[in-house]
């Protein structure tokens, strides 16, 4: 019996390009962005419920998904909360203008 493929649901706050990059790097994974599914603007509860019904791991920047009271460990298929800063090119430019040490290190 073939192994089940990993399935990911990428939240709307994660750039669509991340979804495309993951699909390229891992063609054997099922990777869907909320934009692919027409879920833009849907609530966290909706996203979470869909992910659980479809056995998907949620990838998000949303810190609400890190709340163990709402999403207890072991009660879902997985949540990967990204905490990468800056999250956009614009933020990086803002950081450079306010912190010269960052400009020197990049």
Give the range of the structural domain holding residue 76, as residue numbers without chain letter.
7-105
**pLDDT at 80 (0 to 100):** 75
Structure tokens, 96: 């450079």
In a domain, 53, yes or no: yes
In a domain, 1, yes or no: no
Q: What is the pLDDT of residues 7-62, one digit of tens each?
A: 999 999 889 999 999 999 999 999 999 999 999 999 888 988 899 899 999 998 87
Q: What is the pLDDT of residues 75-99, one digit of tens each?
A: 666 777 777 765 555 555 555 555 5
Q: Give how many domains the chain has, as a whole number.
A: 1
Write phi, then psi, for 64 (nearest 5 degrees).
-60, -35
Write phi, then psi, for 8 (nearest 5 degrees).
-125, 140
In a domain, 2, yes or no: no
Integer-rounded Cα radius of gyration of the chain = 16
- How many whole angstroms from its chain centre is CA 69? 20
**pLDDT at 83 (0 to 100):** 73
Q: Which of 49, 36, 28 is nearest to 10 (CA)?
A: 36
Distance in angstroms (rounded) separating the CA atoms of residues 32 and 22: 10
């Amino acid at each position: 019996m073939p192994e089940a493929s990993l399935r990911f649901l990428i939240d709307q706050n994660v750039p669509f390009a991340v979804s495309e990059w993951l699909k390229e790097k891992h063609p054997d994974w099922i990777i869907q962005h909320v934009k692919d599914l027409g879920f833009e603007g849907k609530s966290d509860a909706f996203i979470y419920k869909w992910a659980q019904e479809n056995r998907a791991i949620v990838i998000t920047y949303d810190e609400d998904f890190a709340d163990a009271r709402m999403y207890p460990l072991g009660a879902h298929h997985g949540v990967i909360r990204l905490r990468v800063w800056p999250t956009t090119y614009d933020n990086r430019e803002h950081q450079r203008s306010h912190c010269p040490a960052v400009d020197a290190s990049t």
